[in-house]
Amino acid sequence: MKRILKIVAAIVALVLLLPVLALALLVLVNLQDEPLDPGLTSLLTAKPPQMAAAENGYFAWIGVAGPEKEPPHAWGYRWFEEALRADQASFGETQALAINAEVRKDALRLEDFACREIESCLAAVAKWPADARAVLAKGRVTLARGDVALAMSGYQEPWRPDFTFSSPLPTASPHYRLLSATRFALAVSEARHDAALDLLELAMAFHRRQAQGASTLIEKLLALANLQADLQLLNQYLRHAPAAARQREARIADLLTPLSAAVTSLQQPILTELRGGVRLFLNLGEKNLFAAAGSENRLPRWLAGALGQRLYLPGASANKHFQLNQGWLAADALAGEDYRRAIAAVRRDQESASEDVYALRNPVGHILVRVGLADHGSFFLRRDDLLALHAMVALQFDLLRSQTTDDEAIARAAARLRHPYSGAAATWDSKARRLSHAALAERRGKQPLAIQL
């Protein structure tokens, strides 16, 4: 009987001891963090050269939203200074900027614009010119302030050393793009072709500078969207005023100068996103956030904090996040099949990391890294749609110059246009007079990319 009791006692002791041993092993495996990757250290300490504030059109651009009585550049710079102070506030806490109360209300609504859909802007304004003139009169302050920004020759999104995912972002310039498109379309409808092209040249040059000077992803995507709208306006101009366009071939050829790598590269915006993510992982290690989270779940604060600190390695987490994003940076420098293979490879790597749920070392960090995985493929697609649209409008211009109207010739020319993201050829629909790239699941609305000829 005593022997049986001893065996039962040993089993009970073993059962009680196993969780303690498992916890001890878990803590032992996670006792020491790893040093930061040298490339990551360089990223955290890097600061790009900055242009002089007085020459930087960025401040004038965000100042379009400011009050009428203060020059746009001055207001934009005041906004930036307040944003810098907010960036230094407690990590993860979004700061409301007092200056945002000064943002000007322009009393315009989307339904006021005949040109609210860029794809049909010229036709709509030609149909309702009085409405176009009325909306331009209501938006005169916005137009004038935006024109100040476009006239400045420099543009660089300034460096914010403490920028995080919770940092304030500038208010979008209210309705400037629609007002600018309406003004262009009205000039075309009134046969003021040189004046119209002056406006488009100014806008496209500014948007190229804006894309080249962007350091955050949202700024880059907005600039690329602006360039896409410019090309859609040019596509309509070539359709609605072909004779005038042929008389101004040199000017239009300049508008269709190939987009440089500096304009289309996503390298710097991805690095900025990566830097923000890495700072988040490192800050989670510095702050006792696990203790706060534990108290909400009725765990003793000290126990939640201790477990969080022991089972979360900020250095290892930051390194893993950095490693999993290297593929996006590498893909950005490639083209053709190499580029498309790189996109597929980085997605496979991230999917593999996402499926690997269990880990003894850095288990909390492992989960957080998995949660923080970002598929930048949709951003590459937006950039590639711009490149594909540029190629299609350039083909439209070539066809206009050569006065090519034969459907077979157009179809052959379209087949030579390859979408950078999918590698698929463009197609020509002679009945609809439409040049297009097929719909993609990753594209917003899953619509084809198309222009009318």
Q: pLDDT digits over 358-376, tens only?
A: 667 778 888 888 888 888 8
**DSSP code for 449:** E
Q: Please, what sign has the CA dihedral across residues 256, 192, 110, 67?
A: positive
Please report the pLDDT score of residue 387 as a whole number: 98
Structure tokens at 449: 């990319």
Residue type, 291: A
Please report the pLDDT score of residue 296 as a whole number: 47
**Is residue 199 located within the same domain as residue 117?**
yes
Within 8 A by CB and 6+ apart from 418, the residues are: 424, 425, 426
Nearest residue to 185 via CA among 240, 140, 228: 240
**Is residue 159 located within the same domain as residue 59?**
yes
| Spatial distance between the Cα atoms of 122 and 106, rounded to a whole number of angstroms | 23
**Is residue 191 located within the same domain as residue 95?**
yes
Question: Residues in the chain, how many?
Answer: 453
286 falls within a domain: yes
Where among 264, 281, 305 does a domain terminate?
Answer: 264
Where among 355, 375, 395 does a domain terminate?
Answer: 375
| Spatial distance between the Cα atoms of 368 and 42, rounded to a whole number of angstroms | 23
At residue 120, what are phi and psi to the nearest 5 degrees? -125, 25
Range of the domain at 171: 55-264
278 falls within a domain: yes
CA distances from 399 to 158, 191, 250, 387, 391 (A): 42, 23, 15, 18, 12
Measured CA angle at 383 (ends 379, 388), to 5 deg: 140
Nearest residue to 435 via CA among 401, 371, 389: 389
258 falls within a domain: yes
426 falls within a domain: no
Please report the pLDDT score of residue 282 as a whole number: 86
Q: Which of 193-202, 315-324, 333-342 has the weakest average pLDDT?
A: 315-324
**Is residue 138 located within the same domain as residue 251?**
yes
Contact between residue 195 and residue 187 where contact means Cβ atoms under 8 Å apart: yes
Question: Which has more pLDDT, 219 or 165?
Answer: 219
| Spatial distance between the Cα atoms of 81 and 67, rounded to a whole number of angstroms | 17
Neighbours of 264 (CB within 10 A): 21
Number of domains in the chain: 2
355 falls within a domain: yes
**What percent of the chain has pLDDT above 70?**
85
289 falls within a domain: yes
31 falls within a domain: no
Where among 316, 347, 375 does a domain terminate?
Answer: 375
